[in-house]
Chain A
Amino acid sequence: GSGGGSGNAAAQMKVVGSSTVYPFTTAVAEVFQRANPGSSVIVESTGTGAGIKLFCEGVGGQTPDMVNASRQMKASEYETCAQNGAKNVIEVPIGIDGLTLIQAKEQAPLNLTVDQIYKALAADPFGKGANKAQTWKDVDPSLPATKIRVLGPPPTSGTRDSLAELILTKGCESDPAMKELKKTDEDKHKSVCTKIREDGAYVEAGENDNLLVQKVSADPGALGVLGFSFLEENADRVSPVSIAGIAPTEATISDLSYPGSRKLYVYVKGEHLAAKPSIKSFIEAYAKAWGKGGPLEKKGLVPLHDAEATAATAQATGLKPLDPSSLK
């Protein structure tokens, strides 16, 4: 490459990736820039998949230095990275987020199980034909007879992946036959377990979560799917739906007992560390911020727990490259 590109590339760090991690990284970036005048961190929210793709395009001034991810990097993605010269990928877990279901505050608190949710939302529950459930009562007689109406992310969103992965698949696999199916016909399994109905019960609500909160709070009976931080911030308007009796709280998410919990990561390109020493300081600043009582917790990030927390802090200073075999 040529040094002809303008901008002060050296002092500049580029971060791309998940929109869930975006607010946390920007918060750290802000503090970091104030403490290190002249440095600049550019954080762009592109979604995890696209972020990793940009990240893995290779090494050099044109590619990002870090990527935010709301899930672990896939083995296939790592392979692309390695092929393009970025062999030295460093994984830093930064905390936990919860995928929560919300409802209007004035509604009676609802308690669902993952398979009830699956039965209500799947396009083809357990492969037994199109979903005909109109009310929650149709799903399970113990539930109220309110119309099923769930506002959630569109298929293009990373949160939708989480919904499918953390809740729907689990609900689906409550039927052992489905677990079997996974071994015999993976495609079929995926279709049956993750495809969401399109007859209006599930409303694709775009990516603006504040709007989703407002719509849910104004629409009694409707549920919404979004990140834990929004629930926390809007606790006066909406209340959480418990899953299997567990309500999403910091505690339940942090010990991963709440089904909708997921870990968040930042990946660093090891090759860039030498050229941009500031990356190291940035990750250190990150580690300072993610602890219990730290500024990121205020922003809705749930801190890691005990051993994991220690490991993460160690990783933030040690910056050990990823072992590809640990990836799925």
Chain B
Amino acid sequence: MNSASAAASRWTGEEMQKRVAGRYRAERRFRFFGFFAIGISVAFLAFLLITMAWQGLGGFSRTEARLTVNFATSDLFLEEATLRGPEAQEAVASAGLEGVIEQAAVAQFGEGAGELFGGASARSLGDQLIEDPSLLTKKAELWIPLSSKADVAAKGEGDPALEKLLDKVDTKRVFNSEFLTASDATDASVVGVWGALKGSFLTILVTMALAFPIGVLAALYLEEFAPRNRWTDIIEVSINNLAAVPSIIFGLLGLAVFLNFMHLPRSAPLVGGLTLALMTMPVIVIAGRNAIKSVPPSIRDAALGVGASKMQVVFHHVLPLALPGILTGTIIGMARALGETAPLLMIGMRAFIASPPEGITQPASVLPVQIFLWSDEVDRGFVEKTSAAIIVLLVFMLLMNGLAIYLRNKFERRW
């Protein structure tokens, strides 16, 4: 019994207590550090998102001013009949509505008020005219969007002179639905992300359609089937190495292979997608291989033992169990592809394209490039549009990843 109590005192003894306390402290430190790490990451993300939302939400709204236009007395050559006809759009575009607005503004708010209105104003006025051609004969009070410069001033960050002028104007903030439906433009007040969004969508579709299956298949081959020899070592190293190749070099490759050799169309989502697929595939392969490696061998044994072929083992058991990890690779790979600019610059996706692409072979821009270009625009109105476009990109990314994340959570298993 002596030894028993000795043992007992050993675990409850002072020295052991001290040691345990120390270990607990280490545990708490460790846990705190974990919490701290995730806290920092999340705080940082929150900071980024909040700043972007703060700057970008303005991009989704625009300021409109009440303007009295007397069409009857203006020197506008437009007829009601044309406005009701099929050529209304073109008629309106060439009618010189800018001048009409400027006149009215100067008349109403005084000298310099012409600056208040710009491209978007004329467009909006044209739309309103087409909607209600009878306006042409009246003196009408209309809500007209401000020019981008005035819009910035109305939001309190622009020219003090304009701000002063705006005090006299009756304004309101409205949701700018055009931002989501229009495409790139040079006037910040009429830009939209639709073209770039569609371009990104098509590009990423091509990327996903290629990188995911190819990545998964390559990972399966390397991890499950490939004999361990020099050749597969070469493949393995070259895949790992591809992940470290700067993306711009993939752009060079795309330029050389897809444009100069295969003569695929420049600036097209097809080429962008192909290039990004080459860039994303290694990430998926690496993540996929790690996931496949962590499937316990006993599962393979079990399936082989009931007479499943290697292929069946892989596709029935290993792949589903490795899927969460593969999806993680896909998510971060796709996120990266979606936010990538450099290689796309090399294959011409930095072009100014004012209409959304119709297919994967049409010239298109993509969101990150659009953001990159807008961030370098002279016009101050682009600042909030840039942030707004970033928000759109992030939302797009989240939606795209949503499915993958759902699947990942669904397939995740502990054993």
Direct contact of A and B (CB under 8 A): yes
Asked whether B329 is an interface residue with its Cβ less than 8 Å from the other chain, the reply is no
Asked whether B351 is an interface residue with its Cβ less than 8 Å from the other chain, the reply is yes
Q: Residue A5 contacts which of B160, B263, B375, B376 (CB distance < 8 angstroms)?
A: B263
Bound together, the chains give a CA A29 to CA B355 distance in angstroms of 11
**Do B380 and A234 touch across chains, with their CB atoms under 8 A apart?**
yes
Q: Which B residues touch A6, using CB under 8 A?
A: 265, 361
Bound together, the chains give a CA A318 to CA B7 distance in angstroms of 106
Bound together, the chains give a CA A234 to CA B352 distance in angstroms of 24
A26-B93 CB under 8 A given contacts A7-B265, A210-B376 = no
**Do B363 and A40 touch across chains, with their CB atoms under 8 A apart?**
yes
**Do A44 and B351 touch across chains, with their CB atoms under 8 A apart?**
yes
Bound together, the chains give a CA A207 to CA B158 distance in angstroms of 24
Q: Residue A35 contacts which of B90, B187, B355, B375 (CB distance < 8 angstroms)?
A: B90
**Do B185 and A42 touch across chains, with their CB atoms under 8 A apart?**
no
**Do B354 and A30 touch across chains, with their CB atoms under 8 A apart?**
yes
Question: Of residues 380 to 401 in B, which have CB atoms within 8 Å of A's CB atoms?
Answer: 380, 383
Asked whether B229 is an interface residue with its Cβ less than 8 Å from the other chain, the reply is no
Q: Which B residues touch A4, using CB under 8 A?
A: 263
**Do B352 and A230 touch across chains, with their CB atoms under 8 A apart?**
no
**Do A30 and B159 touch across chains, with their CB atoms under 8 A apart?**
no
A35-B93 CB under 8 A given contacts A26-B352, A42-B351, A42-B353 = yes
Asked whether B94 is an interface residue with its Cβ less than 8 Å from the other chain, the reply is yes
**Do B93 and A30 touch across chains, with their CB atoms under 8 A apart?**
no
Contact with A along B244-274 (1 / 0, CB 8 A): 0000000000000000000101011000000
**Do A299 and B186 touch across chains, with their CB atoms under 8 A apart?**
yes
Q: Which B residues touch A229, using CB under 8 A?
A: 378
Asked whether B377 is an interface residue with its Cβ less than 8 Å from the other chain, the reply is yes
**Do B380 and A45 touch across chains, with their CB atoms under 8 A apart?**
no
**Do A42 and B376 touch across chains, with their CB atoms under 8 A apart?**
no
Interface size for B (C-beta < 8 A) is 30
Q: Give the interface centre of A4, A34, A41, A62 by most chain B CB atoms within 10 Å.
A: A34
Interface size for A (C-beta < 8 A) is 37
Closest Cβ of chain A to B99, distance in Å, is 11
**Do B375 and A23 touch across chains, with their CB atoms under 8 A apart?**
no
From B160, which residue of chain A is reached at the shortest CB distance?
A: A236
Asked whether A22 is an interface residue with its Cβ less than 8 Å from the other chain, the reply is yes
Bound together, the chains give a CA A22 to CA B351 distance in angstroms of 10
Asked whether B80 is an interface residue with its Cβ less than 8 Å from the other chain, the reply is no
Closest Cβ of chain A to B194, distance in Å, is 15
**Do A209 and B160 touch across chains, with their CB atoms under 8 A apart?**
no
Q: Which B residues touch A44, using CB under 8 A?
A: 267, 348, 350-352
From A43, which residue of chain B is reached at the shortest CB distance?
A: B352
From A26, which residue of chain B is reached at the shortest CB distance?
A: B352
Asked whether A175 is an interface residue with its Cβ less than 8 Å from the other chain, the reply is no
Bound together, the chains give a CA A209 to CA B382 distance in angstroms of 13
Q: Which A residues touch B265, using CB under 8 A?
A: 5-7
**Do B93 and A45 touch across chains, with their CB atoms under 8 A apart?**
no
Q: Residue A22 contacts which of B268, B352, B383 (CB distance < 8 angstroms)?
A: B352
Q: Residue B186 contacts which of A5, A12, A26, A209 (CB distance < 8 angstroms)?
A: A26
Contact with B along A79-118 (1 / 0, CB 8 A): 0000000000000000000000000000000000000000
Bound together, the chains give a CA A43 to CA B160 distance in angstroms of 34
Q: Which B residues touch A23, using CB under 8 A?
A: 186, 377-378
Asked whether A186 is an interface residue with its Cβ less than 8 Å from the other chain, the reply is no
Q: Which A residues touch B267, using CB under 8 A?
A: 42, 44
Asked whether A33 is an interface residue with its Cβ less than 8 Å from the other chain, the reply is yes
**Do A299 and B378 touch across chains, with their CB atoms under 8 A apart?**
yes
Contact with B along A242-275 (1 / 0, CB 8 A): 0000000000000000000000000000000000
Q: Which B residues touch A33, using CB under 8 A?
A: 354-355
Closest Cβ of chain B to A193, distance in Å, is 30
Asked whether B362 is an interface residue with its Cβ less than 8 Å from the other chain, the reply is yes
Contact with A along B137-173 (1 / 0, CB 8 A): 0000000000000000000001110000000000000
From A208, which residue of chain B is reached at the shortest CB distance?
A: B376
Closest Cβ of chain B to A244, distance in Å, is 26
Question: Of residues 344 to 371 in B, which have CB atoms within 8 Å of A's CB atoms?
Answer: 348, 350-355, 361-363
Bound together, the chains give a CA A234 to CA B378 distance in angstroms of 9
Bound together, the chains give a CA A26 to CA B352 distance in angstroms of 6
Q: Which A residues touch B158, using CB under 8 A?
A: 236
Closest Cβ of chain B to A41, distance in Å, is 8
Question: Of residues 1 to 58 in A, which have CB atoms within 8 Å of B's CB atoms?
Answer: 4-7, 12, 22-23, 25-27, 29-30, 33-35, 37, 40-45
Chosen A-B contacts, 30 in total, with CB atoms closer than 8 Å, are A4-B263, A6-B265, A6-B361, A7-B265, A7-B361, A7-B362, A12-B363, A22-B352, A26-B186, A26-B352, A27-B186, A29-B354, A30-B187, A33-B354, A33-B355, A37-B90, A40-B353, A41-B354, A42-B351, A43-B351, A44-B351, A208-B375, A208-B376, A209-B376, A209-B378, A210-B376, A211-B375, A229-B378, A232-B378, A234-B380
**With contacts A42-B363, A209-B376, A299-B378 known, what are 13 further pairs, Cβ within 8 A?**
A5-B265, A7-B361, A7-B362, A7-B363, A26-B186, A33-B355, A40-B363, A44-B267, A44-B352, A45-B350, A211-B375, A232-B378, A235-B159
Chain A positions within 8 Å of B, measured between CB atoms, are 4-7, 12, 22-23, 25-27, 29-30, 33-35, 37, 40-45, 62, 207-211, 229-230, 232-236, 299-300
